[in-house]
A and B are shown apart, each in its own frame.
Chain A
Amino acid sequence: MSIKGMVLKRLAAGIVTVFLVSILIFLSIEALPGDPATAILGQQATPENLAALRKELKLDLPPHTRYLSWLGNFVQGDLGTSLSNKRPVNEVIGWRFSNTLFLAFSAALVAVPLAIIFGMIAALFRERWPDRILSMGSLAAISFPEFFVGYILIYIFSIKLGLLPSVATIQASMPFWTKINIIILPCFTLLLVVMAHMMRMTRAAIIGVLTSPYIEMAKLKGVSEWPIIIKHAIPNVLSPIINVVVMDLAWLIVGVVVVEVVFVYPGLGQLLVDSVAKRDLPVVQASGLIFAATYILLNLTADILAIITNPKLRHISE
């Protein structure tokens, strides 16, 4: 199969997945036991607000019509109305999502280069002390729950040293550097967790290439150490590393949920958790779909980049 064909096939699979996921999310309301409106409002339901909710959820229409109109509205940016505070969902979500992206992006900006550098160091010093230290460190980071790291950091940097704020309630009106100062701790928590996996995978990818016969051949051809790494190892290691990095970014977007709760950061994750507790379904649906779509999109990007950057596949059709 040509490389174009492979990319198109993966792209199509990604789109189909987003569709299926949207159907599942839509069906989540359908799956409510009994009458969804009663289930949502519970015992305090009066006949009037039951009827209002039914109309709001368009329960009087057949499911497929409701799905299509829901999806149509969704694409146009109309995400429905929040049940808890009666505001339009997109109004509630928009700012929060941008906050989440801001936090995740800042963490990624630091985590990706650091993880790759550490991974390279660990691979080049394989089985020696820099590798041992890094691998113990990453094992610990993988094992720690985000809230453990978060509260330790708060305890040290905010409570004991008083250097940084313990609560990251940013506001739209704040100047940029104030925002950065506020998100340092959540950012650091997030990047510790993501970096560990990224670093381990980078290390494995580099070691895989360094032990391949063509690297031995390059040594036997009289190529010295650095040209071997730059000319022979990197072109082949790029593909798996890019794949891992982008896939871990997908994880980061999701990992943000717990961190936001720890630092009371006004992001989409915290909103989702609050809405689940309140059973505010339109908000849960919308934020769930946004998280899922971002996750699927990043995974899709990871796969496509891996196909495009794989030297064996790249020159297949020449």
Chain B
Amino acid sequence: MDNILKIDNLTIKGYWDGNTTVLLEDIDLQLNRGEVLGIIGESGAGKSTLGLAAMGYTRDGCDITEGSVMFDGKELVDATKKELTQLRGSNIAYVAQSAAASFNPAHRLVQQFAETPVRHGHMTFKQAKQKAEKLYKRLNLPFPDSIGYRYPHQVSGGQLQRAMIAMALGCDPDIVVFDEPTTALDVTTQIEVLAAIRDAIKINNTAALYITHDLAVVSQVADRVMVLRHGRLVEDGETREMLENPKEQYTKDLLNVRRQKCDNTKSHKEVVLEIQGVDAGYYPGQNIVEDIDFKIFRGQNVAVVGESGSGKTTLARVITGLLPPNKGKVLFDSKSVSPDVRQRSLNTLRRLQMIYQMPDVALNPRQKIRRIIGRPLEFYSGLSGKAKKKKVHKLLDMIELPSHYYDRYPSELSGGQKQRICIARALAAEPDLIICDEITSALDQLVAEEILKLLQKLQTELGMSYLFITHDLATVKAIADEVIVMYKGNIVEQGNKKDMFDSPDHDYTELLLSSVPEMDPDWLDNLLLKREKVS
């Protein structure tokens, strides 16, 4: 076999505050010329560490303690600084998750593009500039012959990500390491970048390590997939083979996340919340959202979907009363309530609760769990002493956490457990409606799925409504009854989930829905083909 990269028995340890953590343990990896290997795992799986190690690089405080990294027959673990410098950028290139942070703000894009080829003596600056224009064009960047003269903060996120890919391909490297290159992007932008990556590496027959947490994304680009967990290999294999026949339970779980669908066909009568003709923004006359009208019925799940900048968070702030609207009304139980949270009655406040994206900052790190959950009980229902304690334990039971968590601080809990505490705090108020603001996007997929299951179970028991604010269509598919699609501050379409997913009316809905990657290796090809035909 013609291995361009061969990693054997690699162990990497990290040192912090005198503690040693094993980041990667006993990893073997082979990559052939022109092959794309997907590396997949949840946070803490060690996938970025592995990607960097493939370039003979470890971050400060980490060390390769065992094993070897062979690039094209050359050992990188004990290579000199000079050898590594010559190799990096020329033979192995890197694409980081955040292009905005990884471009130097002081230099123009093309200067940064030309740096490696000129310094390593492959090209003159003029040749490098021509090469840049060629690559910018191939990656579908607008104004390929002039965009290079801009500074990083003068181009959009998706364009910057493509400029970084162009930079990585500047010296026609043998391997490119992609570290979550599309994670920070909106779904519709993600497609473009994903297609660009695939074409670019195909044309040059470049090998690649593609690191991501998203199995659906990786199945579009990778020939083979490696699943990592807690720094160890779970399984690896051909992409199609693994999608069809996963061997390990963990891989099966990851695969099942996206396939879960449920149809909630309930009949809804009683209106809980109604929004009438709301315009809102932070300054009068400058509306971020306009003409918002919708209703939520008791026991119903409504999802507001949109990409960043669509105004969905502003809408949530209007409902909670943190941002009084410039025009329009918020009605609770068909009765108009004050637009300002400070003037709402305790009962109104109690009936509307909120769960947030980042459980870390939604819980006061200086309060114990019993206080966090207990406070709404004493505040709204006047419970105290034993009655309060009993109720807190009951709530802990409902969110499926052991009762000894009663006396713990949030920092002793994992991300998913913290999110459960947030749910319990909301439940303690016995609300009619819970607003869930991107509650799964900071969590690993399996954890997120558990949280959604819990919410469904609680809804069956207690019958409240949920309003999901999200950009993640997988969440929508899993749990919503009714979907509201927002685009640039307006509702472009709203209706029953099933109808909408089957036949979207609006072009944007169509674009949005079709952009969600599916666990089908042919999905991206088919989609691009379809879109080409239409245009």
Contact = CB atoms under 8 A, between A and B. Distances in A.
Direct A/B contact, Cβ within 8 angstroms: yes
A315 B85 contact: no
A214 B103 contact: yes
Given A219-B57, A219-B88, A222-B88, A311 B106 contact: yes
Interface stretch (B114-122, B319-327, B369-377): B114-122
Contacts of A231: 107, 115
B115 A221 contact: yes
Contacts of A224: 81-82, 85
**B: contact size bracket:** 20 to 34
Nearest to A127: B60
B533 to A, nearest CB: 39
A225 B85 CA distance: 9
Nearest to B116: A221
Contact of B120 (A217, A219, A222, A316): A222
Contacts of B96: 213, 216-217
A245 B86 CA distance: 37
Given A213-B96, A318-B154, A223 B106 contact: no
Most chain-B CB neighbours within 10 Å: which of A213, A214, A216, A225? A214
Q: DSSP class of A's interface residues: helix, strand, loop or mixed?
A: helix
Interface string A219-234: 1111111010001100
Given A213-B98, A220-B55, A312 B88 contact: no
Contacts, number: 79
Given A227-B119, A315-B153, A221 B104 contact: no
A236 interface: yes
A221 B94 contact: yes
Contacts of B89: 220-223
A304 interface: no
A217 B102 contact: yes
Given A213-B98, A219-B88, A236 B119 contact: no
B508 interface: no
B446 interface: no
Nearest to A212: B101
B128 to A, nearest CB: 13
A145 B88 CA distance: 51
Contacts of A218: 104, 115
Contacts of A311: 105-106, 151
Contact of A223 (B55, B85, B150, B151): B85
B68 interface: no
Interface of B: 52, 55, 57, 59-60, 81-82, 84-90, 93-94, 96, 98, 101-107, 115-116, 119-120, 150-151, 153-154, 167
Interface of A: 211-214, 216-225, 227, 231-232, 235-236, 311-312, 315-316, 318
5 contacts: A213-B101, A220-B94, A225-B81, A231-B107, A318-B154
Nearest 4 pairs between A and B by C-beta?
Answer: A222-B89, A235-B106, A222-B88, A311-B106
